[in-house]
Amino acid sequence: TRMTNQIRGMHQANKNSRDASNLLATSEAGLNNISDLLAQMRELSVQAATDTLNDTDRDSIDLEFQSLKNELSRIANVTEHNGMNVLNGTYQTDGEFGVWRIQIGADNDANSQHEISIMNATDVGLGIDGENVLTVDEARTAVTALDNAIDEVNLERSYIGSEQNKLQFTMSNLTSTINSIETARSHIEDVDYAAEMSELSKNQILVQSSTAMLAQANMVSQNILQLLGN
């Protein structure tokens, strides 16, 4: 029935929403690690942005700086959900596969569909791939670049939190709607059952009446035959 199909579709939409929420949780965990790395890189940039260090000191700081940057990109490139990379920009509006399209309803309409886009959190995506701290000027430039990157990541994490809240609301609403439709369907089925039982009882009465009338007619016929025989 239409109600049954609607319920099944909503159950699947609920699963889709839960899966999308898990994807966002994976992205958030990866961005949390990247945020920590950016903070460490900024600290190193500030440390290197002074003339009191010699070249050997600055080379040592830059070595650690580049190592952190490489680790940042590694995390962005290996953070996956269900075999799909979530932090290397693959699923952005202008990414290789575009945005994630999530079916969050049982129908083919705008209210049943939702899109999610996750940032490119690699060093290239954050605009820090060319940064180093080998000189005072380069270290100060790196501070600015890292501030911008940190702002981008914080903004993305806020966006992810907002999307997770939307999906939680969607799942709650779907569950309530499913329960309402199931209750309505059960009521309709009960009414149908009662109507069918009433019809069955009526038919049984008619059959019993017909049987009784037939038996009575047979008895009358037998009495007449007996009288005629006499």
**pLDDT by 10-residue block (mean), the chain, 230 residues:** 82 92 96 98 97 94 98 97 92 76 86 90 97 97 98 97 93 86 72 56 51 52 55
Enumerate the domain spans of the chain. Answer: 2-183
The predicted pLDDT at position 207 comes to 40
Give the model's pLDDT for residue 211. 43
What's the N-to-C CA distance of the chain in angstroms? Answer: 67
Q: Are 58 and 142 in contact (CB under 8 A)?
A: no
Beta-carbon contacts of 5 under 8 Å, excluding residues fewer than 6 positions away, are: 106
* pLDDT computed for residue 10 by the predictor: 85
The token pair that represents 205 in the structure block: 């009465």
Provide the pLDDT for residue 165.
Answer: 93
**Can you read off the two tokens belonging to residue 172?**
């709650």
Check residue 109 and give its pLDDT: 82
Find the length of the chain.
230
CATH superfamily of 2-183: f41 fragment of flagellin, N-terminal domain (1.20.1330.10)
CA distances to 65, 77, 89, 215 from 126, rounded to whole Å, are 15, 13, 11, 95
| 185 close to 3: Cβ distance less than 8 angstroms | yes
Helix axes 55-78, 2-48, angle to 10 degrees: 170
Q: What is the pTM of this model?
A: 0.77
pLDDT at 79: 96
Q: Which residue has the tokens 């009662």?
A: 194
How far apart are the C-alpha atoms of 2 and 54, rounded to whole Å?
Answer: 77
Task: For 75-127, give the DSSP string.
Answer: HHHH-EETTEESSBSTTSTTSSS-SEEEE-SSSSSGGGEEEE---B-STTTTT
